[in-house]
Amino acid sequence: MRYRWPAGKQSAVVLSFDFDAESGFLFREPEKAKRSLGDLEERRFGPRVGVDRILRLLDRLKLRASFYIPGWTVENHLAPSQRIRDAGHEIGAHGNMHEAVGFLDAAQEEAIMVQQLAILRDHLGVKPTGYRSPSWDVNIWTPGILKRHGFLYDSSLMGNDVPYEVDSGVGPLVEVPVQWLLDDAPLFRHVYGSSNGIADPGRVLQMWSKEFAAMHAENGCFVLTCHPFVSGRASRIALLEELVAYMRKFRGVWFTTCEEVARWHAEGKTAATTRGEKSPRRPGAAKRRR
C-alpha cells in the first residue's frame, strides 16, 4: 500500500544538517583531539564557514530545513547555532558530545539525554520534538528514552523509506528514516585507509537525482543528511542548489522538515484510500486495539 501524503503531495523532501563541528572527534579520539589542530580545524570549517553558506542557500531557495545539533556544539559555537534558530529552521537533539550510543549503557545514555536537552533549553530556548542519533547508532532501549523525554520522533533508522513507527515499550515512536545513500559523509569525507574516494559532485548530483526520482515515484520520503563541515564546501553548496532545482521540476513534492513529516504521520491519515472511503487505521494501530 502506498504512503499517503497531504493533499496534492506525492512525496516529501527534507534537507537535514547535522551540525557536529568538533564534537564527534572529541568523543571518539579524545587523546588525539588534545594535539591535532589539523583534525580540529577541518571540523571548525562547519561553524566558521559551512553553516552560514547553508543558511544563505536555504534563504535563496526559500526552504526550511532540519538541523540536529549536539549540546557541546551549542555551547562552543553558540552564535552559528543561534543564527540557525533565528532563521526559523527546526532544531533537533543530536547527543551532547556526539556520543555514539553503542558505547553507552542505558543509564549513561539517559544522563546524556538530560544534559543535551538542558543545553538546548538554556542556550537556545528550544525544546526539540526530534532526535537524530550521533552516527545513526541506536540501542534497543533508545526509543524508550526518547518517549520518556517527550520526543515525537527519531530520525536515525533505515527500516523503511516512508515514515513508520518503532516500538519503544511505552508506545510507538515515529521514525523519519534516513539511508546511507543520502548522507554526504561517506561520499565526500576524506578518510585515510577507507575505500571511498572523494566523489565528484556531478556524480553525486546524478545519484541523488536518480534516488529522488525513483522515491518520488514510490511516494517516498527523501531525507538528505549533510554536515556543514563537509557540504559547506563551495562546489557542494552548488550541488545542493542544483539538486533542489531538479526536484522542483516534479509536481507534488512536499519540501518540509522532519518535524512536519512526523506530525503528519502522527495524525494517522497516511494509509492510501480510494475516493469516498473512510481512512483505514494503520496496521500497528489496529494491532494495539486488540
Residues found near Zn ion in the complex (CB under 5 A): 18, 20
**CB distance 99 to 23 below 8 Å:** no
Our CB check for Zn ion shows the closer of 20 and 184 to be 20
**Cβ contact 209:253 at 8 Å:** no
Closest distance of CB 136 from Zn ion, Å = 9
Which of 165, 259 has the CB closer to Zn ion?
259
Closer to Zn ion by Cβ: residue 18 or 259? 18
**Smallest separation (angstroms) from Zn ion to the CB of 155:** 12
Residues 6+ apart with CB under 8 A from 250: 10, 11, 212, 213, 216
Comparing CB distances to Zn ion, the nearer of 20 and 109 is 20
In order, the DSSP letters of 12-51 are EEEEEEE--TTHHHHHH-HHHHTT-HHHHHHHHHIIIIIH
CB of 19 to Zn ion, least distance (A): 8
Min dist CB 116 to Zn ion, Å, is 12
Can you tell me the distance from the alpha carbon of 130 to that of 140, in angstroms, rounded to the nearest whole number?
18
In angstroms, what is the minimal distance from the CB of 134 to Zn ion?
5
Are 44 and 21 in contact by the 8 Å Cβ rule? The answer is yes
The smaller minimum CB distance to Zn ion, of residues 162 and 226, is found at 226
Query: Residue 282 carries which DSSP code?
Result: P
The residue at minimum Cβ distance from Zn ion is: 18
